[in-house]
Amino acid sequence: MEILVIGVFALMAIATATAVSPKVGIAAPLILVALGFGASLLPFMPAVEVDPEVILAGVLPPLLFAAGASIPATDFRREFRSISGLSVILTILSTLVLGAFFHWLIDDLSWPWAFALGAIVSPSDPVATAIIKRLGVSPRMVSLLEGESLLNDACALVLLRGAVAAAAAAVTVGDIALEFILAMTVAVIIGIIVGRLNLWVSNRMSDTTANTVFTLAVPFVASIPAEAVGASGLVAAVVCGLVTGNGSAKALSPQVRQSDTQTWHAIELILEGVVYLIVGLEIVAVVREVQEKHEGVGFAFAAAMATIVLVLILRALFIAPLLAAQARRARRAAALRPRLADLRERLGDPATHAAAIHEVAQHVGALSARRLRKGEVSHDHVSRHLTKAEADIGYLVKAPLGPREGAVMVWAGMRGVVTVAAAQTLPTDTPDRALLVLIAYIVAVGSLVIQGGTVRWVVQWLKPSRGVSAQDAAEERGALHDFLEGAVERAGGEEALGGRVGVIEAKRDALIDARGLGIFSSALLSSTLDALDAEQIRLEL
C-alpha cells in the first residue's frame, strides 16, 4: 500500500509540476525536488530508499534512447567533432581537475575516491538541458548541448567505474583507458545493431499497439547486452536511439511514428519527474547522516558551491577555444564556396565533366576512390556530394556561435539526474560515503537552482542568436514548398501517383532525401514531416 501511495503521489506531482512550470516561470525539475522534499517531512510519509541501479539500469537507458531518437542526425553529424570534445575530452579533464580538488579539500580522501566524485559531478544533464530549449535560443546551440549531454553521461559513468575499480584493486591508468575505449566501441556496435533490428521488426509489425509495446523494450535490448560484456549500456541506448530516429521516417508508417512519439513523450515526462522526486525525498535522510557523522552540513555545502564555480570555470576555459575553432572552420568553409561553384560549373560542361568527377570523388573517401577506379562513381553521386558540402557550408556560415552564445552554453551546463544517480551507486563501504553523496546532491540541486533558475535572465541579458531571422525562415519555407512540388512533378503528378496519399508519400521521400543532403533546417523538415504524417493518417481513417 505504501508503494501505491507513493506512486499516486508521484504521478500527480509530475503532472502538476509540468502544468504549473510555465505559469510560474520555475523549471519543473526544481518544483519536483521541492515537492519531494516537502513530502519527506510529512509524518506519515515512509522513508524512501531507491536502489541506484534502478535509475542507472532502468531509468536512464529509455531516457537517453528517447533523447537520441529525437536529435536530428544531420545536425549531430555536423557537430560531431564539437560534441565529442564536450562530451569526452571536457568530461575527462573535469574528472581529473575536480578529483585533484577533492583530494586536496577532503582529509584522507584517497585519489581513486576523489576521482570517483570528480566523475560523478562532471557530466551535464540531459534533462536539465530541456530548460534551455524552451527559451528559443539558436537550434545549433541546442544541438551542441543535447549532443553533449547524451554522451558525457556514459563517459562519466565509465570513468566512475574505473575509479571504483582502482580503489578496490591495483588498476593502472592504461587499464582504465583501455576499458574506456573498449566500453565505448563495443557499445556503439551493439547500439547500431539493435537500432537497425528495431527498425526491421517495427517495419513488419502491423499492429500499432503491439509495436509500441515492443519499442518500450528496445532501450534495454541495447543496454543490457552492452553491460553484460563490460561496455556502456547508456552509449548503446543513445546510439540505438540515433539509428532509430534517423531511420524511422523511411522504415515506419505514419501511425507507428505518431504513436511512438506520443508514448515516449509521456514516458520521458514520468521518468524525469520520478528522478527529481527521489532527490527531494532522499535528501533529508542524507543530510541527517552527514550531520551525525560529520558535525553538520556546512562543509558539504561550501564544497559543493566551490565545485559549481570550478565546473563553470573549466567549462568556460574549454568552450572559448572550442568556439574559436568553430569560427575558423566556418571561415575555411566559406572560402571553399568559389571552388565548389567552379566544380559545379565544370561538372555541367561535357569537356570538363570527367575531370570534375575525378576531383570531387577524390575527396569523398576511400570507398568512392575504389568505385572511381572501377568506373562506378556517377554524375548523380558527385552532384549529391557537392550539394551536401554546399549545405554544410551554409549551415556553418548562417548560424555562427560567438561569445554571447558561448556564455549561454557555459551557464546552461547544469548537473542533475546522472550526478544524483551516479552518487547513489557508490559502494556502501566508500570512505565518507554520506558526505560524498551529499556534496553530489547539493551540486546537482544547486546548479539547477542557481543556473536553471537564472538562465532565462542570462539569455535576456546576453541576447544570443535565436537562429535564422523571420524573413530567412519564410524564404526557407517557400523553398521547401517548391522543392516538394517539384518532386511531385518529377514523379508524374497526382494522377500518376494514384491520389493524395501517393503525393504525400512522394513528398515524404523527397523530405528524407533532403534531410540526408542537409539542404533545409532540421526543425523545418521535422515539422513538415509531422504535417504530412497527420494528413495521411486523416485520409486513411
Confidence tier at 361 by pLDDT (50, 70, 90)? low
Query: Which residues make Cβ contacts (< 8 Å) with residue 16, sequence separation at least 6?
Result: 31, 35
Q: When comparing pLDDT for 410 and 280, which is higher?
A: 410
First CA to last CA distance, the chain: 43
Q: Three-state SS across 36-102?
A: HHHHHCCCCCCCCCCCHHHHHHHHHHHHHHHHHHHCCHHHHHHCHHHHHHHHHHHHHHHHHHHHHHH
Query: Which residues make Cβ contacts (< 8 Å) with residue 420, sequence separation at least 6?
Result: 55, 275, 278, 279, 440, 441, 444
Residue 237 predicted with pLDDT over 50 = yes
Q: When comparing pLDDT for 449 and 220, which is higher?
A: 220
Cα–Cα distance for residue pair 327/285, rounded to 1 Å:
48
Residue 348 predicted with pLDDT over 80 = no
Q: Which H helix or E strand runs over 320? A: helix 298-335
Residue 105 predicted with pLDDT over 80 = yes
Instruction: Give pLDDT tens digits for 174-232.
Output: 777 787 788 888 999 999 999 999 999 988 887 888 888 898 999 999 999 998 988 88
Q: Which H helix or E strand runs over 193? A: helix 173-203
Q: What is each CA distance from 105 to 122, 298, 313, 432, 436, in whole angstroms?
A: 17, 14, 18, 13, 12
Confidence tier at 367 by pLDDT (50, 70, 90)? very low
Confidence tier at 126 by pLDDT (50, 70, 90)? low
- pLDDT score at 118: 94
Cα–Cα distance for residue pair 238/236, rounded to 1 Å:
6
CB-count burial class (<10 Å; 0-12, 13-18, 19+) for 271: buried
Region of poorest pLDDT, from 139-148, 259-268, 311-320, 361-370: 361-370
- pLDDT score at 377: 57
- Give SS3 for 326: helix
Judge contact between 389 and 340, C-beta under 8 A. yes
- pLDDT score at 378: 64
Residue type, 381: H
DSSP state of 336: T
What count of other Cβ atoms lies within 10 Å of the Cβ of residue 67?
24
The label of the residue with cell 555536423 reads 78
